[in-house]
Structure 1
Amino acid sequence: MFTTYEEAISWIHGRLKFGVKPGIERMKRLMKGLEHPEKKIRALHVAGTNGKGSTVAFIRSFLQEAGYSVGTFTSPFIITFNERISVNGSPISDGEWTMLVNEIKPLVDELDQTELGPPTEFEIITACAFLYFANHSSVDFVIFETGLGGRYDSTNIVEPILTAITSIGHDHMNILGNSIEEIAGEKAGIIKAGIPIITAVAQREALRVIQDEAAEKSAPFQSLHETCTLFDEEALSSGERFSLKTGEKLYEEMQTSLIGTHQRQNASLAILAAEWLNRQKQAGISDAALRQGLKKAAWPGRFELVKENPPVYLDGAHNKEGIDKLIETVKQRFGDKKVNIVFGALKDKPYYEMIKAMEEIAHSIHFASFDFPRASLAKDLYDASDICNKTWDEDPDHVIKWIESKKDPNEIVVVTGSLYFISDIRKRIIS
């Protein structure tokens, strides 16, 4: 048994050696050993290539404004490991993590010796989340964000009251498939019989896959783009403003504090979630609570301003679709500025295409590495770029010096790439 938090978390991280093993049989065995905590919570389940975290933040925020206590399970973490399991936006304590790990470890040790094989790091963290929320009756709702895919994701043992798929893009193709249709099929695996599914997926071929899965499972289905209209969209200095007409009502001049054109879509999907919860009488969310909740929602690492001089923004655009949204936001907001980019990525991402896209808006790009098993070498990223004004350094300590060298008031710095990378840089800037 572990006596300290550090020992418990070190044991969890030691499971990284077992890699990613899609499938839910090990999770089912763990849940049985824990007397099925997944059946004791009122959950929402959110999948998607991009936009999951922000959508979770919006839903959590307006539920809180309506007076509910809300748990969230998200990944990866940006500020502290503990935030993976949070209540009302506050991470659980070191002591709570230690107790959870001590309760789960004997079951993991047993499972290690079975034909199913050793549980992974993510499976153990997910099991901790189910156990924690099941034991805390004061939590009214729990929002689970998938880690990878959907169908075979560890979270997919959940029995939700509502599911959502934010977007479909080209990510984790070595596991999820090479086409949009294949990836959509894996995300659609979270759809449960008779449980409503809402989605902001835009590609017609992906939407058809999700709709077919919903029909097969008799799950009520709603597409944001096919049933709602976004209009009067505007970028604000500290967020976004938009109006939304759903099949149910008109929401005028809604405002978010999260920056980025894509946040209007994420916020709109969250509004649909509120409508469904109200319609099912699972919650009572007033228009005032919804409006205030959207405005108060915060999510670190999503076009987040972390330094004023020079202005430094962090954005976890970790795939091509994310980079495209980042570029769209930068063009809209900073078309008259010199844009200096700091970029670090994982080896299994399409970083060549991401770099090519960023070169369109970049005045300069600094390539960096970071402490993570799958991190790309900075020199490899540098070699993939054709921009003239480029530098590289394997030591992330030097990123801060590079940022501070930007003295021109007409310059901004955007740190992007892997969420693990921006988490590391955020700690170095906000210390």
Structure 2
Amino acid sequence: MNYQEAIAYIHGTYKFGSKLGLENINYLLNMLNNPHKDLKVIHVAGTNGKGSTSSFMHSVLKTAGYKVGLYTSPYIEEFTERIQINGEKIPKQRLADIIAIVKEKIEIMVAEGKNHPTEFEVGTALALVYFAEEKTDFVVLEVGMGGRLDATNVIENPLLSVITPIDFDHMEHLGDTLEKIAFEKAGIIKENNFVVSYPQQKEALEVIKRDAYDKNSHLLITNYDELRIHHATIEEQQFSVEILGKQYTDIKISLAGQHQVYNCCMALTALEVLRRHRGIDINDEAIYEGLKDTKWIGRLEVLDKNPLVIIDGAHNLQGATALKHSVETLLKNYKVTLVVAMLKDKDVKGVLQHLIPLVDKVIATKPNNPRAMEADDLAKELVIFGKEIYVCNKIEEAVKKAYEVTTSDDAIVFAGSLYMIGEVRSLLVNCENIISYKERFKISPVK
């Protein structure tokens, strides 16, 4: 099996849907000799900020000298982004070799009358086998959806559970109240363990507290009372904070947006727990350097400066709230053209109400996904805002139009769907350079 065949096989399992539950993944992993049993895992759930928080921890542990696996979802441009060790994506042929083995075991499962694993279960099995074979020191494992019945919850005794901000998303699977959603997220808390949580909304926090108490797990809530942000631009932030009684002064991160400072503090709280309660040697130098070196593509990421071009994966209400704050504070001196694409099962109206009032022009387009909202339907939702609207059915056309209608001194923001920003990033970053892209499409930004 080569890489293309392996990826086709993985994506082909999409048709088996998204089934929450641990029976199937446990059966498959047992056939693969239980690769997860000996992994030292930091398990991360939440609605938003999971990936960034995981990436901060991964970078610090790597800087401290450890071999660290990172499992996240979804990917922005390429599937291999989801499975990394020390910042290096899983080699394509290695992925193919492991998937060949996984496929063989799945065929036996199905022949025995078991349900076919879902796409996420296949990806999770792939990651766990790879991390076990590579003998990683630690694995930062991000939940796909929910927590309690997510495939990653096969981890029985993590070093630590982390729960980032909880909000409304995937309600058809997780429930229609914060309490129900929090119940699913809190499912990653294990008996006699440690859990770090964001200071959630009241309804969610009560659920987490109760679950931690019932499982005799020690709960630590990240405290932002002593947080002082000294400097914030689209390219760098500097802040000081006190975490569990320890003072961190003048931390620098390269991720933009106030929410990334909060995510960083979540990671710091988790790292302090690992140092104090799990005996993991992480010196302060590794923390400062690792946080500064953390990269997380597709989140307020700058791709061009003439005009300023930013992509951001704000695809739900909480993500849109964070992007709104960033546009208000970091782009207050710019006129903004927003290129937006949405999946129809998201809170389209809520996202638009947060973002559209802040921008000058809007381009509606369509992500390449079976759940995509048609560009024309999205444009109908935009009419009430009274903005200048353009409709482009293809993302490449939307990129070209955005450059055409935005002055070189202003800004373009692509947001609303990770599937859309992944394609935008491929178009712009994977050209030889931005200039060649502009020349290729004969783009001449208005003066």
TM-score normalized with structure 1 length: 0.96
- The whole-number CA distance in structure 1 between the counterparts of 2:370 and 2:234 is 37
3-state SS, counterpart of residue 191 of structure 2: coil
Q: Paired residue for 1:331? A: 328
Q: In structure 2, what residue type is equivalent to 1:255?
A: K
**Paired amino acid for 1:375:** A
The Cα of 1:233 is off from its aligned counterpart by 4.7
Q: What residue in structure 2 maps to residue 417 of structure 1?
A: 416
Tell me the CA shift for residue 245 of structure 1: 1.0
| Cα distance in 1, alignment partners of residues 4 and 322 from structure 2 | 38
Matched with 2:6 is 8
Q: Is the 8 A contact 1:301 1:423 kept in 2?
A: yes
Question: 1:224-276: per-residue Cα shift (whole Å, max 9, x none)?
Answer: 138x6322453135222221112231111211100011011100011111111
Aligned positions of 1:28-427 closer than 5 A: 28-114=26-112, 116-137=114-135, 139-159=136-156, 160-225=158-223, 229-385=226-382, 386-387=384-385, 388-427=387-426
For residue 26 of structure 1, the aligned residue among 24, 27, 40 is 24
Query: Would the aligned equivalents of 2:42 and 2:138 in 1 still touch at CA under 8 Å?
Result: yes
* Structure 1: 5+ residue stretches without partners: none
> Offset of 1:178 from its aligned partner?
0.7
Instruction: Measure the CA separation in 1 of the matches of 2:89 and 2:290.
Output: 19
Is residue 429 of structure 1 aligned with residue 439 of structure 2? no
Contact 2:60/2:290 (8 A) holds in 1: yes
- Worse-matched range after superposition: 237-246 or 77-86: 237-246
Rate the CA distance shift 1:73–1:392 in 2: closer, same or farther, 3 A: same
| Aligned-partner Cα distance in 2 for 1:94–1:409 | 39
Deviation, 1:110, is 2.3
Contact 1:368 1:377 in 2 (8 A): yes
* In structure 1, C-alpha distance between the alignment counterparts of 2:229 and 2:416, rounded to whole Å: 31
Aligned partner letter, 2:161? T
The RMSD of aligned alpha carbons is: 1.4
User: CA separation of 1:31/1:5 partners in 2, compared to 1, >3 Å: closer, same or farther?
Assistant: same
1:353 aligned partner, one-letter code: G
Query: Is the Cα contact below 8 Å between 2:244 and 2:272 reproduced in 1?
Result: no
Question: How many equivalent pairs are there?
Answer: 427
Instruction: Output one character per residue of 1:365-412: Cα deviation in whole Å (capped at 9) or x when no partner.
Output: 111112211111111111111233111121112022112214524410
1:313 partner letter: I
The answer to whether the 8 A contact 1:26-1:111 is kept is no
Give 1:114 shift. 4.7
Structure 1 position 115, deviation (Å) = 5.0
Whole-angstrom distance in 2 between the partners of 1:117 and 1:310:
50
Cα distance, 1:354–1:11 mapped onto 2, change above 3 Å? same
d(CA) in 1 for partners of 2:138 and 2:226? 28
CA distance in 2, matches of 1:314, 1:412: 11
Amino acid paired to 2:116: P
Comparing 209-218 with 394-403, greater Cα deviation is found at 394-403
Q: Give the Cα separation in 2 of the matches to 1:426 and 1:232.
A: 29
The letter for the 1-side match of 2:152 is: T
Is the partner of 1:269 in helix, strand or coil?
helix
Moved more, 26-35 or 112-121: 112-121
> Amino acid of the residue matched to residue 428 of structure 2?
I
Counterpart secondary structure, 2:30 = helix
Three-state SS of the structure 1 residue aligned to 2:227 is strand
Q: TM-score, normalised by structure 2?
A: 0.93
- Alpha-carbon distance in structure 1 between the residues aligned to 2:112 and 2:191: 31
Unmatched runs of 5 consecutive residues or more in structure 2: 431-447
